[in-house]
C-alpha cells in the first residue's frame, strides 16, 4: 500500500464536520499552505506554480478530471457526493478521487495499471478504515475499539461511496434493513405486540446506538447519564423529581423496560406488574395501606395507586 502523500496529510488534519466558520478558515489555511508549497517548488517558475496551486493538482496527484477520462462511470455519479467537498479544500484542485485512492500519477502513467492504485474493494477492512479515519477520526474517535471493527465490520460494511442507497450518510441500505442484514437475532423483537416503531420509521436504531463506537456497552450512545438516551424523547420521565424512584436513577430504564420490544404492554420486562415490583420490594411492609386487606393488593396492580412510578414532586410513595 502506498503511503499518504503530503496532500492527504493536509486533508487528514481536517475533521469530517466543522462548523461553517471554522471550516472556512481551515480552507483558507489549506489553500495558503498549498500555494506556499507550490511556490517553493522549482518546477516552472513562480508564476506557473501559482496557477497550478489554484487551478490544478501537483506532484503525484493528477486530479479528478484526469481520472474521469477513463473512469466515466465512477466520476459521473460523483457530482452530488458529499466527498466533492474534499476538492473545495484545495482551491478546487480536484484531488477528490485521490483523497481516498491515493496519488494516481503512477497508475495513469502506466495506462491504468491496477497494481499502482489503492483499491478499497481489494484491501482489508482495517486498511480501508485507516484511510477513512485519516479524515473522519475527529467525529468517530472510538471506532477502532468498538464491536464492529473487532468483528471485521469496517466502514464499507455499512457505507458505500460509489453506490450508496441513502442520500444521507451514504449507507449501503436504509435503516433498519442495513442492520437486520447481520442482526437477524434482534429483528423479531421489533415485531412483538409492543415495540419501538423502528420498522415503521418512527424511531431509528441509531437514535439509541452509535455504531461508530462509544464508551458504553452495546454501542449505546454516549451520555453523562444512560437514561438520557431514553429521556431525550420521553421527557416526562426525566425529572429531576423531589422524590426520585431509586430504581430509575440507579438501575436505569432497563430495570423495568425492554428497549426493543416486548410481549408486555408498556414494554415492561414482566407480564405481571406486582412480580416486577416485588423483585425489589418483597414483601411490602405491614402497617401501611398494604397491611389493610392484603388480598386486594395482589389483585390491584401496584401502579393503579403508585401512578407516578418514575418519580414525583408530591408523594414520597409516588401515589400522586
User: Distance (Å, rounded) from C-alpha 189 to C-alpha 254?
Assistant: 15
Q: Which of residues 278-297 bind ligand HEC (CB under 6 A)?
A: 278-281, 284-285, 288-290, 297
Does residue number 106 form part of the binding site for ligand HEC (CB under 6 A)?
A: no
User: Distance (Å, rounded) from C-alpha 215 to C-alpha 145?
Assistant: 10
Neighbours of 247 (CB within 10 A): 18
Does residue number 193 form part of the binding site for ligand HEC (CB under 6 A)?
A: no
**Residue among 38, 87, 136, 261 that touches ligand HEC (CB under 6 A):** 136
Pick the piece of the chain touching ligand HEC (CB under 6 A) from 25-33, 41-49, 52-60, 303-311: 303-311
Does residue number 107 form part of the binding site for ligand HEC (CB under 6 A)?
A: yes
Minimum CB–partner distance for residue 173 and ligand HEC (Å): 8
Q: Which of residues 32-61 bind ligand HEC (CB under 6 A)?
A: none
Phi and psi angles of residue 25, each rounded to the nearest 5 degrees, phi first = -60, -40
Does residue number 316 form part of the binding site for ligand HEC (CB under 6 A)?
A: yes
Pick the piece of the chain touching ligand HEC (CB under 6 A) from 24-32, 33-41, 51-59, 302-310: 302-310
Contact present, 102 and 118 (Cβ < 8 Å): yes
Contact present, 211 and 219 (Cβ < 8 Å): yes
Minimum CB–partner distance for residue 46 and ligand HEC (Å): 27
Question: CA–CA distance from 173 to each of 119, 167, 191, 215, 219 (Å)?
Answer: 22, 10, 20, 26, 20
All three cell numbers of 173, joined, read 441500505
Contact present, 90 and 5 (Cβ < 8 Å): no
User: Distance (Å, rounded) from C-alpha 147 to C-alpha 218?
Assistant: 8
**Residue among 181, 263, 272, 313 that touches ligand HEC (CB under 6 A):** 181
User: Distance (Å, rounded) from C-alpha 104 to C-alpha 70?
Assistant: 12
For residues 9 and 44, which CB has a smaller minimum distance to ligand HEC in the complex?
9
User: Distance (Å, rounded) from C-alpha 278 to C-alpha 299?
Assistant: 14
Q: How many CA atoms lie within 13 A of 256 on its CB side?
A: 22
For residues 46 and 141, which CB has a smaller minimum distance to ligand HEC in the complex?
141
User: Distance (Å, rounded) from C-alpha 272 to C-alpha 31?
Assistant: 66
Pick the piece of the chain touching ligand HEC (CB under 6 A) from 30-38, 39-47, 49-57, 66-74: 66-74
Question: CA–CA distance from 214 to each of 14, 130, 145, 227, 233 (Å)?
Answer: 21, 18, 9, 15, 20
Q: Which of residues 213-252 bind ligand HEC (CB under 6 A)?
A: 218-220, 227, 229-234, 237, 245-248, 251
Does residue number 306 form part of the binding site for ligand HEC (CB under 6 A)?
A: yes
**Residue among 30, 38, 53, 128 that touches ligand HEC (CB under 6 A):** 128
**Residue among 159, 192, 222, 241 that touches ligand HEC (CB under 6 A):** 159
For residues 38 and 211, which CB has a smaller minimum distance to ligand HEC in the complex?
211
Residue partners of 145: CB distance under 8 A and separation at least 6: 213
Does residue number 27 form part of the binding site for ligand HEC (CB under 6 A)?
A: no
Q: Which of residues 7-26 bind ligand HEC (CB under 6 A)?
A: 8, 11, 16-17
For residues 124 and 279, which CB has a smaller minimum distance to ligand HEC in the complex?
279
Does residue number 30 form part of the binding site for ligand HEC (CB under 6 A)?
A: no
Does residue number 91 form part of the binding site for ligand HEC (CB under 6 A)?
A: no
Amino acid at each position: 500500500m502506498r503511503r499518504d502523500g503530503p496532500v492527504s496529510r493536509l486533508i487528514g488534519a481536517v475533521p469530517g464536520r466543522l462548523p461553517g466558520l471554522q471550516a472556512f478558515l481551515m480552507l483558507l489555511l489549506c489553500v495558503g499552505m498549498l500555494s506556499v508549497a507550490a511556490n517553493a517548488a522549482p518546477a516552472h517558475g513562480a508564476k506557473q506554480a501559482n496557477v497550478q496551486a489554484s487551478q490544478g493538482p501537483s506532484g503525484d496527484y493528477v486530479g479528478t478530471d484526469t481520472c474521469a477520462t477513463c473512469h466515466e462511470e465512477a466520476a459521473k455519479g460523483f457530482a452530488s457526493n458529499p466527498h466533492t467537498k474534499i476538492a473545495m479544500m484545495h482551491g478546487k484542485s480536484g484531488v477528490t478521487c485521490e483523497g481516498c485512492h491515493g496519488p494516481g500519477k503512477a497508475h495513469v502513467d502506466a495506462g491504468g495499471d491496477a497494481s499502482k492504485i489503492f483499491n478499497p474493494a481489494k484491501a482489508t477492512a482495517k486498511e480501508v478504515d485507516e484511510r477513512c479515519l485519516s479524515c473522519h477520526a475527529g467525529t468517530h474517535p472510538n471506532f477502532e475499539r468498538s464491536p464492529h471493527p473487532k468483528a471485521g465490520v469496517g466502514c464499507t460494511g455499512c457505507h458505500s461511496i460509489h453506490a450508496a442507497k441513502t442520500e444521507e450518510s451514504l449507507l449501503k441500505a436504509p435503516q433498519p434493513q442495513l442492520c437486520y442484514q447481520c442482526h437477524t437475532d434482534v429483528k423479531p423483537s421489533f415485531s412483538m405486540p409492543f415495540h419501538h416503531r423502528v420498522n415503521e420509521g418512527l424511531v431509528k436504531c441509531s437514535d439509541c446506538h452509535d455504531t461508530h463506537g462509544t464508551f458504553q456497552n452495546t454501542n449505546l450512545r454516549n451520555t453523562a447519564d444512560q437514561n438520557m438516551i431514553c429521556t431525550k424523547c420521553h421527557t416526562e420521565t426525566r425529572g429531576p423529581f423531589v422524590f426520585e424512584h431509586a430504581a430509575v436513577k440507579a438501575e436505569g430504564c432497563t430495570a423495568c423496560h425492554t428497549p426493543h420490544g416486548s410481549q408486555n404492554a408498556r414494554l415492561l420486562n414482566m407480564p405481571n406488574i406486582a412480580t416486577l415490583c416485588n423483585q425489589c420490594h418483597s414483601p411490602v411492609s405491614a402497617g401501611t395501606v398494604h397491611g389493610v386487606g392484603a388480598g386486594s393488593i395482589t389483585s390491584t396492580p401496584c401502579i393503579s395507586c403508585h401512578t407516578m412510578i418514575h418519580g414525583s414532586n408530591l408523594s414520597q410513595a409516588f401515589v400522586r
